[in-house]
Amino acid sequence: MEASSVTENSSTGNDHEQEPVLNHGGTESNPETNREEEELDGEQVRRVLQVSAATGKFWHNWDKLKSMLSFQLKLVLSEYPEAKMTVEQQNASLGETYLELVTRLNEELHSFIEGPPFTLQRLCEILLDARSIYPKLLKLALALEKNLLVTSTLTVCTEPYPEMMPNLEPEKATEEAPLQSNSVQNGVESMVGDRDEIMTEVEADIEEMTIDVDAFQEMVGPSEANSTAAENS
């Protein structure tokens, strides 16, 4: 399967001139790849990527998953305002045109033949919530490139597929991030509260000790006076 994929990519990868990239093996000009992406359902893609984002593993055929990642990549990039800018504005903002950026990132993704990059989990996290993580397209592009310019790859997972995870885990994950942050903040606040309570208790203990000492002195004073009077007599 992989051998045929490499052969197919090599036979269709010369449709237009390309700059050499790491482990180059396919481009977005591949008609078969484009056809697969057109047939994909956006919600299905999100569910599959959500599983990988939650587990760091993948169960699908790599070529199929690659098409899903490419589909989501193009969708996410198209949501940024730079996609609708003029070429001059795009060059000023990105240092290249929007089309050049999309093509370059997509080619870097398709350069992986044997399997997805070992950064698959982070890659899926970014593609699922790109606008929240990176409000600026340039920063998003740099983050994606960083996670695509690696050489190590993952192998397909043989464990049972987590059927219930797609609909639940990712939303929970995005909500858990601030919750964890809040828990830390709440932890600090509770520590401050505890510290205040402890200080109050300590101050109360000190006051009680002061009262006890005063009472003790009042009690000891007369007894010492009586002892001194007894000795003098």
* Residue bearing the bigger pLDDT, 45 or 2: 45
Q: Phi and psi of 153, rounded to 5°?
A: -125, 165
Q: Is the residue at 72 inside a domain?
A: yes
Query: What pLDDT does 180 receive?
Result: 40
Q: Are 82 and 137 in contact (CB under 8 A)?
A: yes
Count of structural domains within the chain: 1
Q: What is the mean pLDDT of residues 135-147?
A: 97
147 pLDDT tier (thresholds 50, 70, 90): very high
- Average pLDDT in the chain: 73
Q: Is the residue at 71 inside a domain?
A: yes
Q: Is the residue at 128 inside a domain?
A: yes
Q: Is the residue at 54 inside a domain?
A: yes
pLDDT of 136 > 50? The answer is: yes
User: 102 lies in which domain range?
Assistant: 42-149
* Residue bearing the bigger pLDDT, 148 or 186: 148
75 token code pair? 């969708």
Q: Is the residue at 91 inside a domain?
A: yes
* Residue bearing the bigger pLDDT, 88 or 219: 88
pLDDT of 134 > 50? The answer is: yes
What is the sign of the dihedral through the CA atoms of 96, 126, 147 and 11?
negative
pLDDT of 121 > 80? The answer is: yes
Q: Is the residue at 131 inside a domain?
A: yes
Q: How do residues 35-57 score in pLDDT, each as one tens digit?
A: 656 678 889 999 999 999 999 99
N- to C-terminal Cα separation, the chain: 116
Query: What pLDDT does 7 receive?
Result: 36
Q: Is the residue at 88 inside a domain?
A: yes
* Residue bearing the bigger pLDDT, 28 or 207: 207
With helix as H, strand as E and coil as C, how does the chain read? CHHHHHHHHHHHCCCCCCCCCCCCCCCCCCHHHHHHHHCCCHHHHHHHHHHHHHHCCCCCCHHHHHHHHHHHHHHHHHCCHHHHCCHHHHHHHHCCCHHHHHHHHHHHHHCCCCCCECCHHHHHHHHHCHHHHCCCHHHHHHHHHHHHCCCCECCCCCCCCCCCHHHHHHHHHHHHHHHHHHHHHHHHHHHHHHHHHHHHHHHHHHHHHHHHHHHHHHHHHHHHHHHHHHHHC
CA angle 14, 18, 24 (to 5 degrees): 80
Q: Are 131 and 20 in contact (CB under 8 A)?
A: no
Q: By percentage, how much of the chain surpasses pLDDT 90?
A: 51
DSSP line for 58-98: --S-HHHHHHHHHHHHHHHHHTSGGGGS-HHHHHHHHSS-H
Query: What pLDDT does 39 receive?
Result: 75
37-41, 100-104, 175-179: range with lowest mean pLDDT? 175-179
Q: Is the residue at 199 inside a domain?
A: no
Q: What is the mean pLDDT of residues 12-32?
A: 42
